[in-house]
Amino acid sequence: MISKAKCFVAFKNLWASVVKEAHKLSITTGAHAVIVAYFASGIPYVYDSSNFFDTIYKFINDAKAFAVIGGR
């Protein structure tokens, strides 16, 4: 059985790797990257290449506009 400490270290290492790749994607393409993950204990980890609330607002409004226009 894996200890909680080893599990947390693995999560933190993977999180750092994912955030690094998201940051590179954001820089090279100009895309807005948002990642939300919850550790088993319920602690949230959030990465946002810009302002989290601005990105979520844009995502929701773009999705609504896409649905109204007749997107799939």
pLDDT tens digit string along 37-67? Answer: 888 888 888 888 877 677 777 777 776 666 5
Alpha carbon of residue 21 to chain centroid: 11
Buried-state track 12-22, b at ≥16 Cβ within 10 A, e below 16:
eeeeeeebeeb
* Global confidence as pTM: 0.64
The residue type at 37: A
pLDDT at 29: 92
Distance between CA atoms of residues 13 and 45, nearest Å: 13
Distance between CA atoms of residues 10 and 33, nearest Å: 22
Q: Per-residue pLDDT averaged across 7-12, rounded?
A: 90
DSSP state of 70: T
| Domain count of the fold of the chain | 1
CATH number at residue 21: 3.40.1810.10
